[in-house]
Amino acid sequence: MNTFIYTPAARIPFLARKLARTLHGKIIQQDKYPKSPWLLGGDTIVNYGGGTPPVWENFARNNPVCVINHWDAVRRSANKISSFKALDEASVNTLAWTTVKEEAAEFYDRTVVRALVASTCSKGISIVDGPDLPDAPLYTRYFKKKYEFRVHVFDGKVIDYTQKKMLSEESRKAKGIEPVPYIRSYGNGWIFSRKSIAYFKEVDELAIRAAAALGLDFAGIDILCNTNKDGTFKNAVVCETNAAPGMQKSTFVAYKKAFQQRIGAY
């Protein structure tokens, strides 16, 4: 049987190509029918971040083709409003959010204003103190946290677990980074690390429930977490879901193993 890596037509990400090579598969795009071999019953489509239904959707729907991360689930995950709605409906702890400015003004003294509802790397985000807020499609209450994790889930199991940490002052200076308060992004000097990280089983469980609520077979789930004074788990919320997660080094190895076990591509 054949394996295809589905990706939006506008671009073919490096990781999609790498997955295709690793899984001995072929790239298949949104607006192009694939060259021979065509989809057959029993074939597998690995969707890396494609939230747009492909032109060949009806064929995939009417034939026994396995889609890992269906485009409907990816589209739901990519839009923060639909993502938060799905998480709320499944009783998965997430950021307090609203699309109504007057409701957001009633948050605590700090609000995250989101000018974009389908963005990554903290694009379109601004932090506002007080009730005087600009117009925006989405607002979330600022969640004061001790830890931030990215938990990679595949088929209902955690396959990788990292903690976001700030680069050293020396590294930030070398990169010309001047940190902006409250925003933990790569461009702001934060990276995901596996060294000397905290671990809480409750964070794992929350990530698994989040992926299931969104209908994702695999995802990188970003979780904010706090602890009690004695270091035990206190609370956590999902802040973002990634259906096209970064897969570098150890993370890619974990995904490679998971995909191979799922589709038998060795």
Domain map of the chain by residue range? 3-68, 96-142, 147-251
Single-letter amino acid, residue 219: A
Q: In the CATH hierarchy, which top-level class contains the domain 3-68?
A: alpha beta
User: Is the confidence at residue 190, as pLDDT, over 70?
Assistant: yes
CATH T-level assignment (fold) for domain 147-251: D-amino Acid Aminotransferase; Chain A, domain 1 (3.30.470)
For 66, how many CA atoms within 13 A lie in the half-sphere containing its CB? 13
Percent of the chain whose predicted confidence (pLDDT) is above 70: 92
In this prediction the pTM is 0.91
What integer pLDDT is reported at residue 76 of this predicted model?
A: 97
DSSP sequence for 141-176: E----SEEEEEEEETTEEEEEEEEEEPPHHHHHHHT
Instruction: Of 91-105, 115-129, 177-191, give the lowest mean pLDDT range.
Output: 177-191
Q: Which residues contact 225 (CB under 8 A, 6 or more apart)?
A: 145, 146, 147, 148, 149, 198, 200, 203, 233, 234, 235, 236
Considering the chain, what is the average pLDDT of its residues? 89
Write out the two tokens for 28: 């298949």
pLDDT of residue 244 exceeding 80, the answer is yes
What is the CA 14 to chain-centroid distance, rounded? 17
Condensed to tens digits (0 to 9), the pLDDT of residues 170-186 reads 877 787 877 776 777 66
